[in-house]
Amino acid sequence: MLDQKTPLEPPPAYENTPQPSQPSNGPQRPRLPLPLDLPALNMIRGKRVILASASPRRRQILAQIGLTDLEIVPSTVPEDKSKSLAPFEYVLETAQQKALNVYEATVDSPKGGPALVIGADTVVSTHLGQILEKPTSEKDHIATLKMLRDGNGGWHKVYTAVVVLAPLEAAMHPGYAIETHVEETDVKFDQSVTDELIVSYVKTREGADKAGGYGVQGVGSILVEKIDGTFDNVVGLPLRATLQLIEKVLVDPDVPEMVDRVL
């Protein structure tokens, strides 16, 4: 275990890469990575980029590709799509609704319209296709986690839909380019997790605001035995797919079309 008083050294530098100066006294912090130098990200650097979600987890994930100056504008439309929809249809329609609502609310803003709007939605689904969103009470929260542990050997699915919008300069209906993606990840709960542990976890309130009632990136990882798919999709935003959508909608927006890709 590292001595907490030991200063953290910056990571090794590539040859001829300038290093930021470090104070000679006091603890040193690790150097942040340089931002990705990609055409799409360079196009929106310093411009108005809106995340149509209040999720701090999605904001943290987008910061990993350099989108650190996001404007947070949550959608005001009720999320009341029919649960009779298949999970991937439900998240896609909800994410589209969020992104379009925020785009329409900000496109004529006095501060100028957005250069990009990113919307997302995440749900957890049982093996029977039952959609599980945020728990509504402590009792519901406990019951949800027990159901995920006990059903189908602990396996369930997490779906996240991402929708990216960018305005078009050409006067072409509907005035924006749009790309969408739905990603699916299989998650297995450890079936040896006790009722006592589930109740104890629920009382931490970590999972109270999360689809399925747990946060895999936090204490909720103690419930999870295995993940088949992308980890950040379970957190709430598949980063690789989101970057691909941003590149598609900004670099190659020839025809505004809806692309529903389910992986």
Span 28-87, pLDDT tens digits: 666 667 788 999 999 999 999 999 999 999 999 999 999 999 999 999 988 888 889 999
**C-alpha distances in Å from residue 131, one per residue of 72, 87, 89, 217:** 26, 6, 11, 21
Span 94-147, pLDDT tens digits: 999 999 999 999 998 888 889 999 999 999 999 899 999 889 999 999 999 999
Whole-angstrom distance, CA of residue 229 vs CA of residue 234: 9
Span 169-220, pLDDT tens digits: 775 667 899 999 999 999 999 999 999 999 999 999 999 999 899 999 999 9
CB atoms within 10 A of CB 92: 25
Whole-angstrom distance, CA of residue 35 vs CA of residue 67: 9
Given the residues 69, 108, 121, 195, the one annotated as active site: 121
Name the CATH topology of 39-251. Answer: Maf protein (3.90.950)
CA max distance for the chain: 62
Of the listed ranges 20-24, 96-100, 221-225, 240-244, the least confidently predicted one is 20-24
Residue 19: its pLDDT value, please? 55
| Known active-site residue 3 | no
Domain ranges of the chain: 39-251
